[in-house]
Amino acid sequence: AGQQGWYEATGLVQAVRSAQLSVPVAGRISQLPAQVNATVKAGQLLAQIDAASADQAANASRAQIAAAQASLTQARSELTRAKALADKQYLSTSALEKAQAQYRIAEAQARAQMAQAGAASAQAALFRLTAPFNGVVSRVQGDLGAVTMPSQPIVELYDPSAMRVEVQL
């Protein structure tokens, strides 16, 4: 105990909310805008891993969606024409059923392509490291061009709006 009721103790100030951030993929760091002591907003890019192959897969999926939608549009037109001809009894029931089946196939293919494109876009997003909350960058582990492994911390972030003090008494 110190003089006049004072007690001196050593403590540690810590953020209530902090995070070590990593990506779930291996690759070369192609962008690293995160800087120590920089204030960042939620969603702001902190690091980008080279995602050329994932980007190409996403672009290919978008092209496949366009092709599937074109096929669906064509099948829809064929079905409309077939229904009109069947109404006038210029087309057999089996030919109408075939047009309906072709439309259903085209529709299913379009849905499958959209789902695949969604997965490819989600895969591409794994290569971007963004801030999960507003905060301050406390540490950057890695350099531009360095290879990072899955779950290897790249950036540490804390929220300075809520701090706690730990003291041993």
pLDDT at site 54: 63
Sort residue 121 into left (φ over 0), alpha (ψ -120 to 50) or beta.
alpha
pLDDT at site 151: 85
pLDDT at site 57: 67
pLDDT at site 111: 84
Three-state DSSP at 122 gives helix
- Count of residues for the chain? 169
- Percent helix, strand and coil across the chain, each rounded to 5? 45, 25, 35
pLDDT tens string, the chain, 169 residues long: the values are 556 777 788 888 888 899 999 998 888 899 999 999 999 999 999 999 987 666 676 777 778 888 888 888 898 898 898 888 888 888 888 888 888 898 898 888 888 887 877 777 677 778 889 999 999 999 999 888 888 888 899 999 999 988 888 888 7
d(CA 155, CA 149): 13
pLDDT at site 79: 87
- Burial class (CB within 10 angstroms; exposed 0-12, middle 13-18, buried 19+) of 151: exposed
